[in-house]
Amino acid sequence: MTGPVVLGAHVDQADVVAEAQARSMPVAQIFLGSPQSYRGPALTYPGGIPQLKADAAAAGVGLYVHAPYIVNVATANNRVRIPSRKLLQQHVAAAAELGALGVIVHGGQMGKGGDLETGFDNWRKAVDGLEAGVPVLIENTAGGDGAPARSMENLARLWDAVQSASGAERIGFCLDTCHAHASGMDPS
């Protein structure tokens, strides 16, 4: 089943609605805090989540939340994977409160020589444990030899892994065309 292609823009959370409208975009993507920090969501929009939710609804702008870049639920490194799962859960909960259309998260890295099968299984485990009130969309990765979401082959294997998890109906993919081009995929 296919639907319409909807284009949006990643904008600053301080003035989400105006930024989306200035670009004539029906959807906007935002961070709910620092993209490079394990700190939980921290919205700077005046009036916080309730006001942004109301303003976006009134303007007809759909919102997506991008999880911090450092989230890596695929890795075999417990010191990264465990805090990443917690941070992803915090962002998913905040996105649900915001009424977001979904949360976009990078597919992660296994590191050079890392076992991709472990990464796929770690994604399955992450989905099993995720309480998601909104869809979680795994974004393809631009680089890295140990990236579970880098190639079409890896994306297919990742999809198979997450589909075996409870809660799989809340999981989807977000195609970043720039990442696809940078990784050597032909987006056409």
Flag whether pLDDT at 143 surpasses 90: no
Flag whether pLDDT at 57 surpasses 50: yes
Flag whether pLDDT at 148 surpasses 50: yes
For 16-50, what is each residue's pLDDT tens digit? 999 999 999 999 999 998 899 999 999 889 999 99
For 66-125, what is each residue's pLDDT tens digit? 999 999 999 999 999 999 999 999 999 999 999 999 999 999 998 778 899 999 999 999
Residue type, 153: E
Over residues 129-134, the mean pLDDT reads 92
Over residues 53-59, the mean pLDDT reads 97
Q: Is the pTM of this model over 0.85?
A: yes
Of the pLDDT bands very low, low, confident and very high (cuts 50, 70, 90), residue 1 is very low
Burial of 184 (0-12, 13-18, 19+ CB in 10 A): exposed
